[in-house]
Structure formats: structure tokens, C-alpha cells
A and B are shown apart, each in its own frame.
Chain A
Amino acid sequence: MKTLFQRLAGILLVVVVLASCKKTLFPAGINTDPNASTKDRLLPNVLLPGAEYSIAYTVGGDVSRFTSVFIQSVRGAARQFKAYDQYVFTAQDFDNCWSNFYTQGLNNLYTLKELAVQNGYAHYSGIAKVLLAYEVGLASDLWGDVPYSEAFRGDSSVLQPKYDSQQDIYDSVFSLLSSAITDLGAADSQIEPGDDDFIYGGVTDSWIKLAYSLEARFYIHLSKVDNSYADKALAAAANGFTGNSDNAAVPFFDDGTEANPWYQYVTQRGDISYDDGYLYQFMSSKSDPRLNAYFDLAGNGIGDAIGAYNAPVSLMTYSELKFIEAEAHSAKGDGQETAAYNAAVGASFDALGLNGSTYLAANPLTGADHATRLQTIIAQKYVALFSEPEPLMDWKRTGLPALTATTGANIPRRFIYVQAELDHNGNNVPKGLTLFSNSWWDK
């Protein structure tokens, strides 16, 4: 028995001693997550697709739905959207939208920009800057003052970034875009974008055109605060899109997990209606041939142009650029607005595979002064850009089209600051703003 005990004790002792040894019990890498990567191991081609789809799914999702309800392109018909239709929003309602912007799209783009700049991937850097400008500019258009200069630095312990004024955001946007144009014009680097870029397949010329077109968009936003907005917008537009083939859009596919956000919303929720909306009524009053593409007239859904499972989500179109030009020319009174207007409306029809000439003949741009012309330009832009957030920005700048609030006296102009920011960055969140407040360029 002694020997048995000694043998057992010996084995146990060996087991305990061995097991207690650092390397046996705690081998290197045991607490390194094999299911995830770290920043130092990332490559641009995994950051870009996430960013593009986060933008597309959020802009084509929450942003599109909320802004479309604000400007009555669609109406909220049931459940939560019934409340939104009556302007009953809580700060939590915008949480998903904000957090998709900041923790997915923008953070990936910021990370991509840093990575690309560090490693000299000039074209990735350019793409990252164009999309950063697009998305942070949009965030500011929706909320007003938003974090940018201190944002995306959570991993450097900046957990409560300050809010930059909208004016500063716009400065950043223009500087990002001009720097992007430089980067995109640089020579090829070791790693080049390709299939991971769902917008342009890595074609830098297209990205440069988008950068200029976005400049034009952001300049036209400044129509109330910058007297030279028209000249600046036209100068930028001159280098922008030259046709619908330049349109910036993210594709969706024929698949249960790759379907368009409006398609998913309509099939899975469907709480909106269109026939009581301003857009439908305006279009049907003009027997607009685009109605069938915009709305599912047999049901209560959205039409295939916007809401087919494989409909792309548009970031900016040639048509919009032409409307911007039309507005700028009209403001300058240089007589070139009609050509731009016709091109804008025509491009909208072309993109849907329709011919707009009859419609244009019935709805020409007329008017002796800018204010009169602007009504037509913005009304047609409102139609052409259905589902995009731009019509809200136009309405804020111009008050066009003339909408009536569904309840009370005011129509919402902005998203309210989100609960997650109020809870976790409350000191920096600007106070006293509601759905109806104005911002710097939206005086």
C-alpha cells in the first residue's frame, strides 16, 4: 500500500507541479481572440466593404425612412411609424442610426484613412476621405453640430469627443474632399482598391468626379450663409458627374441576406403608406410616368426603383448634380438654368429607363426671377431624389415644396440628439434643440 500511495502521490505531484507551471497552464496566446482581428492586422479591403454597406443600409434605411416621413414623400401608417408621422420621436429612436454612422461607417473610414495614409495607399486614402466627407457631412446636415475632430479615438481613450460646430464640419468636409482629389490623382500604390469597392470598383476617375459632385452638393447647402455658394457649386460641378453612369450607388443582391433596406422594411414591417403623401399626390396630379417605379401601386409598398430586393441605394446622382447647377445658374441669372434643369429631369427618367421628354414639355422651367424658378427646380428635385435625404436639406434651405405639418405648426428639420450620446457624452451634446430647431446653414 505504501508503494501504491507513493506512486499515486508522485503522479499527483508531477501533475500539479507541471500544471502549475506558467507555460503549461497559461500558454502564449490563450487569451488572444482567434475569432477576431486587431487593428494592426487589418487590410483596406476588409474595411471598405463594411463602410460602404453601413452607409448604404443606414442611409437607405433609417435616414431614408425618417427624412421621407418628415417631407411627406411617404407617411407613417402604423405602429411606431404612426407615431413618427405625428412627430412623436424619442431620443432612442435615432440611436441605431447614429451608432451605425459612428461605430461602423465613419469609424471604418477613419481607420481606413489612417491605415492608408500610414502605408501610402493613396487611392484607398482618397476613397476613405470622399466617403468620410459624404457621411460626416450628412450627419451634420441631419443633426447639426456633430463630433468629428475628436471622434473615432476611443482606442486612444478619447471616450467623450466634443461636438464640432456645423461650420467647422463643413470646413473639414471641404478639406477632406480636396485632399481626396489629390490622393486619388496619385500614382498606383502597392495595394489598390478593386472588387472590395462596391461603388466604383476602384476606378479613381469616378471617385474624383464624386468628390467634385459632393463639393457642389455641400456648397449649395450654404445658399443661406455664403453669398458665393453658386459660383463655388458651379466650379465644383464642372468637374463632377457627366452622366448617369457616374452615379454613386451601392448595389444589393438577390438574396435573403443581401437585400435592399426598403425592400426589407416593406416586407418585414410595412408600416408606411404613400397614397396620402405629398409626393404621390404631386406626381399623380402630373400623371408622372415614374409613379410605377416609385410605388407599388397594387399594394402599400415602395416601387421597384427604390424598394426591389436588388435596388441599389443611391449616394448621389447625375440628376442631382444637374439640379444643383440649375439652381446655381438660376441664382446667378446667367440664363443657363434651363439646360441644366432639362438635363436633370431627363437624367431622372433615363435612370429609370423612361423617356422624360413629354413630361419635360409639360413641366418646363419657367419664371422671370430666381424665386419662381426655384419652386420648379426644387419641386422636380424633390421628385427625382425620392428616398434620398437631400430633399429634406432643400426644404430646409428653401421651404420648398410648401408642406403642411401633419400635426401642430412645425415640420421637423433635424434628428434629435440620440439617447446614447445624452447618456454617455451628455456634457458635450448641445442643449435645447428639438426636432424643429435650425442649424448654422439652415437659418
Chain B
Amino acid sequence: MLSAVLVLCTTLAFSQVKTITGRIIDQSGAPVPFVTIHVKESKQAVSADAEGTFAIKAESSQTLIITGTGFETKEVKVGDQTSLTIQISKKESNLTEVVVTALGIKQERKALGYATQQVSGASLVQADANNALSGLGGKVAGLQISSSTGTPGAATYMRLRGVTSLVAGQPLIVVDGVPIDNSNNGVSLGNVAQSNRAIDINPDDIENVSVIKGPAAATMYGTQGSDGVILITTKRGAKARGGNRFDITYSANFTFDNVNKLPELQMKYSQGYDGLYNAPNSSASGRRLTWGALIDTLKWDGVATEWDPHGSIVGASDPTGKTKVVPYNNAKQFFRTAFSQTHNLSLSGGNDFSSYRFSFSNLASSGIIPVSSFNRTTFLVSGDTRLSDKLKTGATVNYIVSGGNRVQEGSNTSGIMLGLMRTPTTFDNSNGASDPKDPRAFLLSDGNQRTFRGESNRSGGKYDNPYWTINRNPFRDKVQRILANAYLSYDPNSWLNITERIGVDHYGDDRFQSFAINSNAYPTGQIDYTNISNTIYNNDLLVTATHNLTDDLKGTLLLGNNLYFTEFNQNNLEGDGYVAPDYYSLANTSSQLASNNYQRTSRLAFNAQVKLDYKGYLFVDGGIRAEKSSTFISYAVPYPSFVYFPSAGASFVFSDAFNMASKVFSYGKLRFSYGQAGRLPGIYGTTNTFAGTSVVALADGWTSGISFPISGQQAVFGNGLGNANLKPERTSSIDVGTELRFLDNRLGLDVTYYTSKSHDLLLSVPISPSSGYGSYYTNGAAMQNHGLEVVLNATPVRTGDFRWDMNINWSFNRSKITALAPGVSTYTITGFTGALIENIVGQPYGIVYGTDFLRDSKGNLIVSDGQDGTPAGYPIAGTNSVPIGNPNPKWIGGWQNTFTYKGLSVGFLFETKQKFDVWNGTNGAMVYFGTAKVTENRGASYTFPGVLGHADGNGNAVVTGGANKTPVVLDQGWYSDYIGNSFTGPAAQSVEDGSYVRLREVSLGYTFNTKSWRIHNVIKSLTVTAIGRNLWLHTKYSGVDPDTGLGGSAGLGIDYFNNPGTRTFGFNFKIGL
């Protein structure tokens, strides 16, 4: 609760007295803040500051005593020294956990009225997570980490205690006190898997991550805090270890990735229709499907063609048939084992007054899809120096270059999985080529594309051969980013601290995409250049004053000012129609389109907070945040006014208050907090506009459409309606919890219950299109969340050199949309016609909404009696959309174990998400096309369980009989031609439970005792670790790894030809020099 304050109790002056400055560190060399240093012979005492540094007056003959909760007391003779580095040892299970809280303020954990959880940097990188956020998965109660897809650089999404907004916001990420951008620019249902920008942070530079859960704790971030805050502290320099002028650490990872799970394909039936084989180069429309002949009845004629080196396929009785047809496994052939490597080099050092750290890292990863890659290079320099005993300053500069080759995915005719999973098993996409770059796989001699649906330019509806996509439809991106900050911390006297911190986050993201001539989506070819630049400037001025009101009561007043500016610009250049082939330049296109999007915002905020500390066991705080933002400005409101967010909290360490600590019961605390936080309206949301300068396009959901200008003429259409009277979204939450420790701190339990209510949620209310406009922007919606988080820490075994540490975290969150806007009952987040991710009043956040089979009021399937003209014995398609799945897990959890014995360390982390639905549209389409494994039972007889009935004229169910007893045939007629698939039939049949348990991380490491080595003066330490990620996955989900999401952080629950997930194993070497 002290924020960098030196407390001088007495100032007795003796002639021999000198000022001693020093630094307290722990065994690992990390600074230990806030411990008390007092002179044994006098009453003089000081506290170390947040960085563990102190200054005290003492005589040479005197002794300093260092005491800190959770540390062994240490005595040090002053002697001749004037500058000291004092190492102290932790007691088992350190209680004086110091956590980084809002605005970078370090506080003792026991004073906090809200739940927070820490993850060390070492834990993030222990199993080589390339994305710092994915390294958090399974480690924090209440934090749901989700992957988008398994391609390199693909985004990782966070949800902390659910979401508090209609289109899921994610927690704010703050690095060294400066908010950074974590956008997932360009995310879409059918493009490439883009990165979330926090991927630019090198996980190896992270000292620790502090997860500030829920708005009660995040009030100080006002309109950025409602989804919680992830505070990242980067490593700082420290005085080198014994004998070194500086320390060098080098580590390297070498890992291999494989596909961990794919949808199952049927291998029994050929390309074709109605049980007949249709060749890829035939004109039969049945060639698009895999409802052909039993492969056992087919032969190759041995005359090689461009379509198949084994020859054309003929019936077994055809005399030209030579060899039996053997099905191809296109998926197995396509994916590869990917190799990645990471190198980290860091150098740090310093003296008693200054320290510095430099780090360089390079990640070069390749993906399981040939040519896919993601690379990241980072340079980070940081330094801190004490200019005087009152003034301290420091700065950090982090330069990052990242990007790679991305591949098309999802709902996109160039999507890798879409083309791959629809390919009949009698067609070899690779055409026998083993090199994925070999053009014979995807190119015909006449220059047309080789796909299983033939080459005719007018046959339509083709999918790009995956080999075509990786070779001819490239997507590259390159991000260059600077994260920089500098601070000045001044202590004019013992009770006052003034800290000024300025930071900037700027990046430029250059993207290139091309579709070659004869690509399906753009038969004449297309090239796109996108340049994004984004800048955040943040300035914080913090004044902290501390005063001992009485002997028992200490008060702290915190005042803060924040200035925050953002600037975003995106330029798009599109060239259409390549003139010459194999020349991928704008200059080679027959027409060009250009557009841009510029956005600028500014924000001013003040924070005030009062904290009271009674006897070190009762803590009470209250605060308020006032904020004004440019996004409220409209014609009606020329200048924004302040909006306010209050907070209050209390922490009671009852074990200290009542001296309850014993051998069995070590520590007990109750906490409570209340707070509000919010979210700003989107930019330019206050005005009605007609789109003009960006590309105006027309489409209809089937085709890519047309774009203006056409023949030099531009066009505009009305945008969604604005609203001049916007308010911020507001989330109020209450967080109550307890922390208990037992058995000499070997067992710790932390339980939190929270509830939050969000209102004035902003939405573009879809309105009746006949109003002339598609939507209007307003504060209308409300939702609530509540949940429980349990964290259990234990050291079940601690004998001699052997130690077993365990951490279990378990949490659930329940959300409910309580209101949308007048007249609005559903609100679409993302998705496809027929299977949308939707907010519906009375339902949890973001459920799957689509059509189902007709059911009676009890939910029984209606099996057609034939009276409405539908085929008797089969289910009937319902016409209206209903909630059909809930993608929010019932609960999530992680179980982390670490075993150490001397130099040996074994760690594993199990992670689970239970009972969440995924719409497996991949399978739905594969059933339609006849490639799904389930269609292997074609021809089987089946009695649909349900009651007989039909649909009336309004589409409502009419029950006419009892249970259905008539068996029908499951054949192409049902699966493909009729509604037995979610591609053309009801979406509900593809909703599956995605529940999984996975071995998310494994590490097996050995630290060599280099002290005995002759080269110890060169190699100070050496650790070799075998690592694995996702080595084991248990799920009933029939598609790819269910930890997948196509529509961005808000649209979890959709699997439509998502690229598959991976399992990783490899090695890590870490050397200290």
C-alpha cells in the first residue's frame, strides 16, 4: 500500500553517521520490495521501495536488520560499505506477495479487496507458448483462453469472467503501465487467420502477468476496464550475479507441430452421384459430390491422365480396368510436420544506482499447412537509474517485427479445409506429387486450375485445390511496432510520491494478398494491399500521499490524471483482373480500387482514491474515476462532459486481527469490493452518415458482388443511423471472496464469488430495413454475469530435495442477456445465415441461433406423416430460427503440477472446458457432399425417434399420432438431396458438445550443476527441457480440435472449415553466461 515511499522515523545525527544505500534481492536476484530495514542499535527504520531499494543513515559499527513478511530475518554489519546489495531468503510459502495493480501501483496482496491472480513469466514460457496469451491458458481461474485456429500466428482470445458487452470485449492489456493494442484486425469468417496484436510481445521478456479480474478492480481504467485488465510487467535489469559485470542468458527452443485432430472422412464411396461414379473432367454435375459408386467396384484403366496418374476410373467389369482403385487420403497427404525455432538472448547488469537490460529474440515458426509461417523478431532495451535519493527515472523501448505467410480458411472457396474436406476420396489433390510446390498438383497443361470439379471456367462453385491456394493465393503480412515508455518518480519527502509516465504504442501493418488468374473466387485474379497504422499515446501523472493518521491507522491518497489519444488509419489498394499471368503487381491489373479509413480519438480522465490501513489487517478503500471522451461529441454535444465510475473495497485479514494463526490454520482473509467500469461508444457513432470515400460495394450473400466506382461514377448508401445522445456502457460489479491458508501455508484456498450487471450497452440495433436504414446506434441493452472462482494451491509433498507443487483452478461464469433494445429480441454477433452467433433476451451471451427440425411442445422430433407433402418417415425442417447451442462453457479448469528433485523438474498442466457447444458446420457440409465418415452407413435403415405429425400452413407442428415406428433409408436422398445435413437442412443437427480435457503443457527439465564443471566461469547455468503442448486431447467432438473459433473473440462457437489445431513437442536449452 506504500507506493515508493521512504519512511524516516528518526533523524538523529552522529558524527560517524553515513548514508547507506542498498538494494534487497531474493535468492533469484529479483528485487524484494517493502521489507523493513532497521538499525539494530537505534530505533531508526526505513522501508524498501517497490524496487527493493532503500537509503538509511547508520554508523559503521552498527548492524542492519532486514525483516519482511515471508522472509527469513537477516542481519548485516554495516562496516565500511556505503552501498549494499542484501540477499534475503524466502520462507516457505511467501505471504508477502506483492502484486502489480491498476496504474502499475505495487501493493501487498493482503490489502486488496478484489480477486487477482499472478502468472510468472517463467510459467508462460515453460512449454513454449509463442503467444503470451496462450501461455495463460488453464492457469487463471475465470480466464477463458481460446484459440482461433492452429495456423502459425493465429489469434488467441481471452474472456475474463465472461463478457460485459454485446460484442465481446476482451480484457485491456497494459504493458509496464501503458495500455497496448490487442486488435485482431481483419478477422472474418472467410479470409486468413489474423493475429491478435499482443502476439508481438516476446513472452520471454515478461517478468510476470497480473490478472485484474472484473470491473470492481478495474475502475481506475474507466471505460477500458469493464472486461478486466491484464497487467504485464517486463523484466528489468539487475546487478549481475557474483563475479560478472553483466549476465547473459541465452535460450533456444526447437519444436515440431503436427495436426492433432481432423474430421473423419469416409473412404468407401467414390466421387459421383446416385451411386454412379462421375469423373472430375466429366460434365456430369454429380462430380461435385461424393455420392458415387462403392470404390470396391471400381478399377483404374492404367492410362495416366492429368487427373490421375493411375488412369481413368471404370467399373470393375469394364475390360479396360487394370487395377483396383485405392482411395486417397488427401488430408494425411496435405498436412506436414512443421518445425519452429525460437532464440532468446538477453543481457543485463547494473550497479547500486542503475540497471539495464537488453534482449533480442527471434521466432521462426512454420505451420502444418505447407508454406504457412509466422516470424517475430524483438529488441528490447530498458534501464532504470536513481538520479538522487529522491528522484528515479527509467525507460523502455521495445521494437518488434512480426508477420508471416498466412493461408485462406473458413467460409471461402480458397479455404484450405473447405477444398480439402470436400475432395472425393477417389481424387488425389496432389496428383502424386510429394513436393507441395509441384505445379502438377494444381495446374493443368492448358493453364487452368486442376480441381476435383474440373476446369471449366463456367461450371461454377469450384473450390480451389489446397495446393493451388498455398502456391497461387498468397497472403503475407509484416508488422513493425514500437512500444516505448519512460517514467520519472519523485519523492519530495517521506510521505509524497509523484510519478509521471508517458508511453506510446505504434505499429504499421503491411499486408499483401493475391489471387492468381483462375482462382475460383476471382477468376480474373485480384491483388490487395492493406496498410494499417495504429498509434496509442498514454500519459499518466500520479500523486500518492501517505500519512499515519494515528499509530494504528495509515491513510493513502492517490490522485491521477490520464491523457489518452489514439490514431488509426487503414489504406486499401485493390487491383482486379491480372492482364498477364504470373505477374503479381498492381501495375498488371485492369482496374484498381482504393479506399481508406481514418479514426482519431482523445480522452481525458482523473482518478482519486483513498485507502485506509488499520493495523495491517483491515484495509478499506474508495475511489472515483472521471472521464470525458471525444467519441461523445456530436452536433448536439460540442464538448463532452464527465462521466463517473465509483469503486469501494475492503480487506480483512481476520487471522491477524484475532491472532488465529496456528500450525493448522496459517492465514485467513475476507475481501469485498464494488466497482463500476465501462466502455466508450464507437467512434463517429453520433452522426447519420452516407458512406462515400471507402469502397462501396453491393453483394447478396452468394457472390463477391460489385464495387464502385463503375465507369468513373461513385455511389453512396446510408450507413447505420447514429445517435447524438450516447452514454458509456456501464458495468457494476461486486466481488466477495476469501483467502485461506493451512498447514504452515502448504495448502491455500482462494474462493471468489462475483456478480456483475451491465447496462446502457451499446448496440447497432438492427431495425426494420424498411425504415431505409439497417440499424441505429444506441445504449439499450443490459446483461448480467455471475460466477465462482476457486484456486487451490498445495504442496502435497516436501521431503528433502523432492517437492510437489500443485495448483488447481476452477471457475464458472453464467451470463444472461436481460434486455436488448425496444422491439429487439435478437442481436447478431457473427455467423452464417441459418447458424448465427446471437444475443437473445433471456439467453446467455452469444448463443448459436438457427433452424431445427420441427418439434412438438415437449421437444420431441416430429416425424412426417406425409400430410404436409414432406416425405413420410423423415423429420421436417422448421422454418424459424431458435436457440440451438450455447458456446459458453459450463465450467473451465486447470490442474498444474510441478515436481522438483534436485536439478530435475517435471511440470504438466491439464486444462478443461466443459459443456460448451460448437456448431460443426464443417461436418454439415461434409455430410451434404458425402465425404463425412457418418455417410458411410448410406443405405442403412433407420427409424427416426419421434412422434408422427406435420407442419400446418404457418409452419407450426401438428401432432397426429404416437411414436414413429416406420424405418426409412438413410441415403443420398436424405443426407444430401433432402435435409439430413446442416448445409441445406436445419443447422441444429450440427451442434456438438465441444467439451475437452487436454494435456496442455508438459515440461521435463534438468538443470545441470555447472559449479562442478571446469568451465563454470564461462557457463554459469545450463538447463535442458523437453516440452510438449497439447500432447493429449480427450473430446467427443467430431471435427478438428474444438478449441477453435472462426468469427473472432466475439464469435466463439463456429467451426466452418476452420484450420485444424496442433500438437507440439520439442526441446528448450537455456544457458546462463
Q: B520 touching A57 by the CB < 8 A rule?
A: no
- With both chains docked as a complex, state the minimum distance between the C-beta of A126 and any C-beta of chain B, in angstroms: 19
The docked-state distance in angstroms from the alpha carbon of A182 to that of B18 is: 102
Q: Of A50, A301, A420, which one neighbours B715 at CB under 8 angstroms? A: A50
B940 within 8 A of A: no
- With both chains docked as a complex, state the minimum distance between the C-beta of B973 and any C-beta of chain A, in angstroms: 11
Q: A255 touching B577 by the CB < 8 A rule?
A: yes
A111 within 8 A of B: yes
B622 within 8 A of A: no
With A36-B690, A257-B591: A424-B767 Cβ-Cβ less than 8 Å: yes
Contact residues in A for B524 (Cβ distance below 8 Å): 255-256
For the complex, count residues of A whose C-beta is within 8 A of B: 115
The docked-state distance in angstroms from the alpha carbon of A12 to that of B488 is: 11
Q: B717 touching A108 by the CB < 8 A rule?
A: yes
Q: B705 touching A264 by the CB < 8 A rule?
A: yes
B446-461 interface with A by 8 A CB criterion: 456-461
B480 within 8 A of A: no
With A53-B710, A261-B700: A91-B715 Cβ-Cβ less than 8 Å: no
Q: A296 touching B458 by the CB < 8 A rule?
A: yes
With A99-B769, A107-B772: A54-B459 Cβ-Cβ less than 8 Å: no
- With both chains docked as a complex, state the minimum distance between the C-beta of A202 and any C-beta of chain B, in angstroms: 12
A388-443 interface with B by 8 A CB criterion: 407-409, 418-421, 423-426, 428, 432, 434
Q: A258 touching B710 by the CB < 8 A rule?
A: yes
A104 within 8 A of B: yes
Q: Of B461, B700, B716, which one neighbours A97 at CB under 8 angstroms? A: B700
With A90-B879, A256-B526: A268-B461 Cβ-Cβ less than 8 Å: yes
The docked-state distance in angstroms from the alpha carbon of A267 to that of B459 is: 6
Q: Of B456, B713, B773, which one neighbours A107 at CB under 8 angstroms? A: B773
Query: What 1/0 mask marks residues of chain B from 754 to 772 whose CB sits below 8 Å from any chain A CB?
Result: 0000000000011111111
The docked-state distance in angstroms from the alpha carbon of A409 to that of B869 is: 8
Query: What 1/0 mask marks residues of chain A from 282 to 315 whose CB sits below 8 Å from any chain B CB?
Result: 0000000000000010111100000000000000
Query: What 1/0 mask marks residues of chain A from 3 to 19 whose CB sits below 8 Å from any chain B CB?
Result: 01100110010011001
Q: B771 touching A152 by the CB < 8 A rule?
A: yes
Q: A103 touching B769 by the CB < 8 A rule?
A: yes
Q: B928 touching A79 by the CB < 8 A rule?
A: yes
Q: B869 touching A45 by the CB < 8 A rule?
A: no
The docked-state distance in angstroms from the alpha carbon of A54 to that of B769 is: 15
Q: A31 touching B686 by the CB < 8 A rule?
A: yes
B186 within 8 A of A: no
A81-138 interface with B by 8 A CB criterion: 82-83, 86, 88-93, 95-104, 106-108, 110-111
Contact residues in A for B602 (Cβ distance below 8 Å): 25-26, 30
A42 within 8 A of B: yes
Contact residues in B for A408 (Cβ distance below 8 Å): 868-869
Q: A161 touching B770 by the CB < 8 A rule?
A: yes
The docked-state distance in angstroms from the alpha carbon of A159 to that of B780 is: 15
The docked-state distance in angstroms from the alpha carbon of A426 to that of B456 is: 46
The docked-state distance in angstroms from the alpha carbon of A278 to that of B388 is: 93
Q: A53 touching B698 by the CB < 8 A rule?
A: yes
B983 within 8 A of A: yes
Q: B772 touching A151 by the CB < 8 A rule?
A: yes
Q: B633 touching A54 by the CB < 8 A rule?
A: no
B703 within 8 A of A: yes
B300 within 8 A of A: no
Interface hit among B162-170, B225-233, B819-827: B819-827
Q: A155 touching B689 by the CB < 8 A rule?
A: no
With A30-B633, A266-B460: A35-B597 Cβ-Cβ less than 8 Å: yes
Name the CB-closest residue of A to B520: A268
With A99-B769, A103-B718, A420-B766: A1-B390 Cβ-Cβ less than 8 Å: yes
- With both chains docked as a complex, state the minimum distance between the C-beta of A433 and any C-beta of chain B, in angstroms: 9
Q: B634 touching A31 by the CB < 8 A rule?
A: yes
The docked-state distance in angstroms from the alpha carbon of A298 to that of B768 is: 44
Q: A152 touching B772 by the CB < 8 A rule?
A: yes
B522 within 8 A of A: yes
The docked-state distance in angstroms from the alpha carbon of A296 to that of B283 is: 12
B867-914 interface with A by 8 A CB criterion: 868-869, 877, 879-881
With A38-B687, A50-B715, A268-B413: A155-B721 Cβ-Cβ less than 8 Å: yes
Interface hit among A269-277, A328-336, A359-367, A374-382: A269-277
- With both chains docked as a complex, state the minimum distance between the C-beta of A3 and any C-beta of chain B, in angstroms: 12
Query: What 1/0 mask marks residues of chain A from 66 to 90 whose CB sits below 8 Å from any chain B CB?
Result: 0000000000011110110010111
B285 within 8 A of A: yes
Q: B977 touching A82 by the CB < 8 A rule?
A: yes
B561 within 8 A of A: yes
B630 within 8 A of A: yes
Contact residues in A for B413 (Cβ distance below 8 Å): 268
Name the CB-closest residue of A to B600: A30
- With both chains docked as a complex, state the minimum distance between the C-beta of B173 and any C-beta of chain A, in angstroms: 24
The docked-state distance in angstroms from the alpha carbon of A252 to that of B771 is: 29
Contact residues in A for B633 (Cβ distance below 8 Å): 26, 30-31
B696 within 8 A of A: yes
Q: B869 touching A407 by the CB < 8 A rule?
A: yes
The docked-state distance in angstroms from the alpha carbon of A158 to that of B771 is: 7
- With both chains docked as a complex, state the minimum distance between the C-beta of A194 and any C-beta of chain B, in angstroms: 10
Q: B458 touching A301 by the CB < 8 A rule?
A: yes
Q: A104 touching B634 by the CB < 8 A rule?
A: no
B683-697 interface with A by 8 A CB criterion: 683-684, 686-694, 696-697
The docked-state distance in angstroms from the alpha carbon of A153 to that of B688 is: 12
B1009 within 8 A of A: no
Q: B716 touching A42 by the CB < 8 A rule?
A: yes
Name the CB-closest residue of A to B284: A300
B812-844 interface with A by 8 A CB criterion: 823-826, 833-834
Q: A102 touching B693 by the CB < 8 A rule?
A: no
B942 within 8 A of A: no
- With both chains docked as a complex, state the minimum distance between the C-beta of A229 and any C-beta of chain B, in angstroms: 28
Q: A102 touching B769 by the CB < 8 A rule?
A: yes
The docked-state distance in angstroms from the alpha carbon of A19 to that of B562 is: 10
- With both chains docked as a complex, state the minimum distance between the C-beta of A195 and any C-beta of chain B, in angstroms: 6
With A33-B684, A258-B706: A46-B700 Cβ-Cβ less than 8 Å: no
Name the CB-closest residue of A to B984: A83
Query: What 1/0 mask marks residues of chain A from 253 to 265 whose CB sits below 8 Å from any chain B CB?
Result: 1111111010011
B14 within 8 A of A: no
Q: Of B391, B500, B638, B955, which one neighbours A12 at CB under 8 angstroms? A: B500
Q: B689 touching A37 by the CB < 8 A rule?
A: yes
Contact residues in A for B458 (Cβ distance below 8 Å): 266-267, 296, 298-299, 301
A144 within 8 A of B: no
Q: A106 touching B772 by the CB < 8 A rule?
A: yes
The docked-state distance in angstroms from the alpha carbon of A25 to that of B631 is: 12
User: Which positions in B face A, CB cutoff 8 Å?
Assistant: 283, 285, 288-289, 388, 390-391, 413, 456-461, 488, 490, 492, 498, 500, 520-526, 539, 541, 561, 563, 574, 576-577, 590-591, 593, 596-598, 600-602, 604, 628, 630-634, 638-640, 683-684, 686-694, 696-708, 710-719, 721, 765-774, 776, 823-826, 833-834, 851, 868-869, 877, 879-881, 928, 953-955, 977-979, 983-985
| Pairs A–B under 8 Å by Cβ, sample size 15 | A1-B391, A30-B600, A30-B601, A31-B601, A34-B693, A82-B984, A98-B770, A103-B717, A103-B773, A152-B771, A159-B776, A257-B697, A265-B460, A269-B702, A424-B766
Among all A-B residue pairs, the 3 with the closest Cβ atoms = A270-B460, A408-B869, A154-B771
Apart from A16-B563, A38-B687, what 20 extra A-B contacts exist at CB < 8 Å?
Answer: A22-B639, A26-B633, A31-B630, A31-B632, A36-B690, A88-B877, A88-B984, A90-B851, A108-B718, A146-B770, A159-B771, A195-B713, A265-B460, A268-B461, A270-B461, A298-B283, A300-B459, A418-B769, A419-B881, A420-B768
User: Which positions in A face B, CB cutoff 8 Å?
Assistant: 1, 4-5, 8-9, 12, 15-16, 19-20, 22, 25-26, 28, 30-39, 42, 45-47, 49-50, 53-54, 57-58, 61-62, 77-80, 82-83, 86, 88-93, 95-104, 106-108, 110-111, 146-147, 151-155, 158-161, 195-196, 198, 252-259, 261, 264-271, 273, 296, 298-301, 407-409, 418-421, 423-426, 428, 432, 434
